[in-house]
Amino acid sequence: MEINNLTYTEALAELEQINKALASDEISVDELAEKVERGVQLTEYCREKLQNTNLKVTRIFEKLEEKKN
């Protein structure tokens, strides 16, 4: 599935599955590079989602503070 179509929760779940498979040697050598690359993409996507959410929440609180003053 295209990463941009995933929710944060879906991306994190897929990343956890990849991590589990890597840790338990479930991935063949033939799949290894593909799974690692997908894991990196998912990590970057999740990080970006978290950063954007943090920025939005910060802006919301800033607006609330402005209204108080």
Dump pLDDT digits (tens) for 29-38.
Answer: 999 999 999 9
pLDDT the model gives residue 50: 97
pLDDT the model gives residue 26: 84
**Among candidates 11, 8, 65, 5, which has minimal Cα distance to 38?**
11
Q: CB of 18 within 8 A of CB of 52?
A: no
Per-residue pLDDT tens over the stretch 15-27: 999 999 999 988 8
In whole numbers, what is the pLDDT of the chain averaged over residues? 94
Q: CB of 46 within 8 A of CB of 15?
A: yes
The alpha carbon dihedral of 57, 60, 65, 66 has a sign of: positive
In whole angstroms, what is the distance from residue 13 CA to residue 7 CA? 10
pTM: predicted TM-score of the whole model, two decimal places: 0.84
